[in-house]
Structure 1
Amino acid sequence: METFLYEQVAGRLEKLIRKGVLKTGDKLVSVRGLSEEQGISLSTAFKAYSELEQKGLIEARTKSGYYVRYTPRQLPQTPQAPQQTQWPPWPLAQDKQDKQDKQGEQGEQGEQGEQGKKGGQGEPGFPGATGEPAAPGNPTDAILHRVYTDLSDETIIRFSMAAPSINLLPRARLQKTLMETVRNHPDGCMGYASAQGDAVLRRQLALHAFSWGGTLTEEDIVTTQGCMEAVTFALKAVTQPGDTVAVETPTFFGLIRAVQGLGLKILEVPVDPETGVDIDWLAQAMKRTSIKACLFVTNFSNPLGSCMPDERKAQLVNLLAEKNIPLIEDDIYGDLYFGESRPRTCKSMDKTGNVLLCSSVSKSLAPGYRVGWCIPGRHLQRVLELKRIHSLSSTHLTHAAIGQFFAHNRFDLHMRQLRKALHTQSLAYIEAIARYFPPDTKVTQPKGGYVLWVEMNRSVRSLALYQAAIGEKISFFPGQLFSVDVRYEHCMRISFGQPFTPAIDKALKTLGKLVREASA
């Protein structure tokens, strides 16, 4: 999407600040000086400075002008990719199953106990695969239930909510579109939609795919009740119970539970916080274990926020195509980029129909509308069959309304405003964490999405920290929920979906105090 002139000017200045050319405390040229220097109008120069001011990069001082507020050198260090040591210290999927078959239940329990010891030590290195869902009474399941219960408590500061604040969503425009859809539809959307989904919505999604490099028609798309249903259909289409699925580590706990809930084993693949999945590691894993599918979030992963560069996406697509291993690409955060252009998808590089792209508007426009979709490639008919079995059709009214919202060009305008707000909020949250948390804290600096991955001193246990935080009416997601074991128990995920307010600042200050106490 073409950017406005003031955004271009602001972007160039932001790069100078991020590279440290402009340092904290440096005075910027006046608005008039910027106007003359760049050959732009005074209003454009003022808007450029306002843009940087909203992001917290500069500040206006009365009767003095604009100054650089901070540079990245003041921010916390970012977490590093796990140090590669040897081949995974935990058994791989089929190796573990073979050993279980031979040793029986008693041997299995002993092996699991040993694995738990290794995970509890938080050792570096890479995990293998595990197929067992969490055991009943598992503390991570209990805390997950508690966190989700707390989401409905309006008195709690919910850093756990990886979704937009309702105040950032176009409520009035959506309500207007809903009413227009009811009035203009022949049956008021009271009947069933087609199994494949509302035709207008699918047509608009096909047009929208151009932004991420896709060339689609409405016949390539199946609508679903949100992204998770799309992922579930995709998993069922390409796997059978007992198969092994490769996922990122850390990754969204919802994906872990979706895989486990289908009776599938998990192979956790290490992820670089900047460039995403370790493709070399994955290639080696393919030689040692039978992987039936990969489930990756290639754009602004949850919780690391990593975004795979285009050349690495192409490398991944080619690798999996050669091995005929389907790639389920969760692109739910792809539209939430902070840069100048939307990142491409692996689906845009798919020449064989091997990539099944899943997404929704739950993180961008209307979480409660449950509008998602799957672009299944050569697995289209199987996904359609699964949808007919499980849900027959999608909710007609909300899907038709979102189709109309796209058709009236309201989505792009809304997303421009939302991305700007999220970028500003992310910088404010990171700066507050740098100010209030211990100096050895590491925080990701994502280029899109909603979440920050916070790595604390290894003496901190995030489950215990959560219990202390909830007593202060503060909620976040403990790190160990993002893996099949406890290697991330010293980490947490914080969402910056809520606008930065004095209440948010106070909550981060309190949380930082609790972290300091826990690491003392």
Structure 2
Amino acid sequence: MQDKVAQKDHLYQRIANVLEQQIKNNVLAIGDKLPSLREFCKRYGTSQTTAIKVYYELESKGLIETRPKSGYYISGSLKRIPALPKISEPSAETSQIQIEDLLEKVYNNAAPMSITLAHAVVADELLPIAKLNKGMIQAMRELKGSGTAYGEIQGNEKLRKQIARHAFTIPDLSHENIITTNGCINAISYAMMVLGKPGDTIAVESPVYFGVLQLARSLGLKVMELPTHPQTGIEIDALKKALEANKINLCLLVSNFSNPLGSLMPDENKKEVVRLIQKHNVPLIEDDIYGDIYFGTNRPNTCKTYDESGLVLWCSSISKTLAPGYRVGWISPGKFKSEILRMKLFHAIASTNITQEVIANFLETGRYEHHLRKLRNTLHTNSLQYIRAINDYFPEGTKVSRPQGGMVLWVEFDQKIDTIQLYDLAVKKGVSIAPGRLFTLQNQFANCMRLNYGMPWNNQLDKGLRSLADIAAELNR
């Protein structure tokens, strides 16, 4: 009896060793799907218990991972993993360094690029465009005037109800406390206009999405950048000190998969952020545009999840997941509903009714969640492929973030490498990146860049990353 048990244990170890060697030799590559437990048992002639032991052994070594409702995937190799970028150390003072010229150059050069890694967008090939087109025809048939009429100021009611149902991590969220907007940045702009006045200070993560920086500057707000960890987000102690010193009038945080770091704020940090802003009566604009693109088993909570005071204004959209050009976004404004509604009336009157109807129907039929499951798997695999390529090709000592969701990577080079210079050389080879200086108003991140992995992985992408690596190696000499 003992001999049979020993044979079974030996079998699971032998199979695990074979698979481990295949991973080491790139026979099984990052992102490859492994057989289901049933298929495994047929292929190797084992019991399910043995199959589970094999996968557990590989999972314990960080070589494979499970994905919800999808199965087992290769997630790592036996090679070294790049280190994480360092925690940012911005100045405690506000700063207003100009980055507009660089921003315009990056955007104006994007169209002719054969490999566009600069923009945080999903490729058309990953979007259900045919289904959206059918939805547009359906919406034209159902809406008054085929969608040409103005909608409600607060937004399409069907869409608001579907948003409330989809946002199950926010307790007691009602469609009555949701206002639609023209994308997430429009929601954020309404919030900034309502909450701040010229000369006020807004606290943000560092680095932070350049659109937030430019919007704040255009409204006359001073920007205070706070230290941020590449995995856990804003440093709570830094936020606490700024609040206690009465240095800030409002905050903007990306609690889930921030842009550009991809950081995910732990639940205990989110609770502490909400506690702090409530204590000091400072409102928080929460940008949750990437929250649906999670790689774990469950959608992460938001700061809004723990808000009981109405001080958190939750903003999001489907621009990063479904239809960027539809410009469908929303805000749950908490205690500031009347002010946000008034601001929308002054600036827009109403949102585009027909695109809202299309998205409402997409959510109502369950097509959105079905699409998200496939998109999450693709983006997760892509992130692993990019990290593998950076590990294999880029100069030694290159650091890279390890996001648990979203669609961007933050890469940190040696101080000798200037990513604006890297950008200028890369565009000549048909590759665009987003230099790190775009994501700050201070003199920092000159040796960093953001890469988008929201596109199908292929040989062309691999070659593009090799080209970036070759240029970086030249600059590093």
TM-score using structure 2 length: 0.86
Q: Structure 1 CA distance, aligned partners of 2:48 and 2:380?
A: 25
Q: Structure 2 CA distance, aligned partners of 1:187 and 1:166?
A: 29
Note the alpha carbon deviations across 1:69-108, whole angstroms, 9 max, x for none. 84375321111214xxxxxxxxxxxxxxxxxxxxxxxxxx
The letter for the 2-side match of 1:352 is: S
Choose which of 91, 99, 102 in structure 2 pairs with 1:127.
91
Deviation of residue 287 (structure 1)? Answer: 2.8
User: What is residue 137 of structure 2 aligned with on the other side?
Assistant: 179
The question of 1:188 aligning with 2:164 is answered no
User: What is residue 161 of structure 2 aligned with on the other side?
Assistant: 203
Equivalences for 1:433-472 in 2 at 5 Å? 433-472=390-429
Note the alpha carbon deviations across 1:278-330, whole angstroms, 9 max, x for none. 11111112233431100010000001000001111001101111100001000
Secondary structure of the corresponding residue to residue 223 of structure 1:
strand
Deviation of residue 22 (structure 1)? Answer: 11
Deviation of residue 68 (structure 1)? Answer: 6.7
User: What is residue 258 of structure 1 aligned with on the other side?
Assistant: 215
Q: Structure 1 CA distance, aligned partners of 2:201 and 2:115?
A: 38
User: What is residue 40 of structure 2 aligned with on the other side?
Assistant: 31
Choose which of 214, 217, 232 in structure 2 pairs with 1:275.
232
Asked if 1 retains the 8 angstrom alpha-carbon contact of 2:63 and 2:77, the reply is no
User: What is residue 318 of structure 1 aligned with on the other side?
Assistant: 275
Q: Kindly tell me the number of residue pairs found equivalent between the two proteins.
A: 439
Equivalences for 1:40-439 in 2 at 5 Å? 70-71=76-77, 74-82=80-88, 125-130=89-94, 132=96, 134=98, 140-153=99-112, 155-210=113-168, 212-439=169-396
The letter for the 1-side match of 2:451 is: I
Q: Structure 1 CA distance, aligned partners of 2:145 and 2:451?
A: 44
Deviation of residue 459 (structure 1)? Answer: 0.6
The letter for the 2-side match of 1:249 is: S
Note the alpha carbon deviations across 1:471-519, whole angstroms, 9 max, x for none. 1111000001111123100000011111111110001001000001001
Deviation of residue 269 (structure 1)? Answer: 0.8
The letter for the 2-side match of 1:152 is: A
Q: Structure 2 CA distance, aligned partners of 1:23 and 1:352?
A: 51
Q: Structure 2 CA distance, aligned partners of 1:389 and 1:445?
A: 42
Deviation of residue 39 (structure 1)? Answer: 6.0
Q: Structure 2 CA distance, aligned partners of 1:37 and 1:271?
A: 47
Cα 1:209–1:67, aligned 2, differ >3 Å: closer, same or farther? closer
Q: Structure 2 CA distance, aligned partners of 1:370 and 1:69?
A: 34
Q: Structure 2 CA distance, aligned partners of 1:299 and 1:252?
A: 13
Note the alpha carbon deviations across 1:345-364, whole angstroms, 9 max, x for none. 00011001010011110000
Equivalences for 1:9-24 in 2 at 5 Å? 24=24
Q: Structure 2 CA distance, aligned partners of 1:177 and 1:39?
A: 46
The letter for the 2-side match of 1:488 is: F
Asked if 1 retains the 8 angstrom alpha-carbon contact of 2:64 and 2:75, the reply is yes
Asked if 1 retains the 8 angstrom alpha-carbon contact of 2:90 and 2:442, the reply is no
Secondary structure of the corresponding residue to residue 167 of structure 2:
helix
| Cα RMSD (Å) | 2.9
Asked if 2 retains the 8 angstrom alpha-carbon contact of 1:23 and 1:71, the reply is yes
Q: Structure 2 CA distance, aligned partners of 1:469 and 1:175?
A: 36
User: What is residue 96 of structure 1 aligned with on the other side?
Assistant: none
Secondary structure of the corresponding residue to residue 357 of structure 1:
strand
Deviation of residue 35 (structure 1)? Answer: 8.0
Deviation of residue 150 (structure 1)? Answer: 2.0
Gaps of at least 5 residues in structure 2 are 1-15, 29-33, 66-71
User: What is residue 431 of structure 2 aligned with on the other side?
Assistant: 474
Q: Structure 1 CA distance, aligned partners of 2:327 and 2:75?
A: 40
Asked if 2 retains the 8 angstrom alpha-carbon contact of 1:274 and 1:308, the reply is yes
Secondary structure of the corresponding residue to residue 321 of structure 2:
coil
Q: Structure 1 CA distance, aligned partners of 2:193 and 2:97?
A: 17
Q: Structure 2 CA distance, aligned partners of 1:214 and 1:67?
A: 33
Q: Structure 2 CA distance, aligned partners of 1:129 and 1:394?
A: 38
Q: Structure 1 CA distance, aligned partners of 2:174 and 2:22?
A: 47
Asked if 1 retains the 8 angstrom alpha-carbon contact of 2:409 and 2:451, the reply is yes
Cα 1:355–1:381, aligned 2, differ >3 Å: closer, same or farther? same
Cα 1:164–1:467, aligned 2, differ >3 Å: closer, same or farther? same
Q: Structure 2 CA distance, aligned partners of 1:407 and 1:31?
A: 37
Cα 1:270–1:218, aligned 2, differ >3 Å: closer, same or farther? same
Secondary structure of the corresponding residue to residue 76 of structure 1:
coil
Secondary structure of the corresponding residue to residue 378 of structure 1:
helix
Q: Structure 2 CA distance, aligned partners of 1:156 and 1:68?
A: 29
Q: Identify which range, 505-514 or 480-489, moves more after superposition.
A: 480-489
Note the alpha carbon deviations across 1:338-394, whole angstroms, 9 max, x for none. 111100000011001010011110000000000000100000100000000000100
Deviation of residue 462 (structure 1)? Answer: 0.9
Asked if 2 retains the 8 angstrom alpha-carbon contact of 1:131 and 1:260, the reply is no
The letter for the 2-side match of 1:463 is: I
Q: Structure 1 CA distance, aligned partners of 2:385 and 2:124?
A: 19
Asked if 1 retains the 8 angstrom alpha-carbon contact of 2:202 and 2:221, the reply is yes
Asked if 1 retains the 8 angstrom alpha-carbon contact of 2:143 and 2:354, the reply is no
Deviation of residue 277 (structure 1)? Answer: 0.6
Identity rate of aligned residues, in percent?
A: 40
Gaps of at least 5 residues in structure 1 are 1-15, 59-65, 83-124, 135-139
Asked if 1 retains the 8 angstrom alpha-carbon contact of 2:75 and 2:384, the reply is no
Cα 1:408–1:277, aligned 2, differ >3 Å: closer, same or farther? same
Asked if 2 retains the 8 angstrom alpha-carbon contact of 1:356 and 1:376, the reply is yes
User: What is residue 509 of structure 1 aligned with on the other side?
Assistant: 466
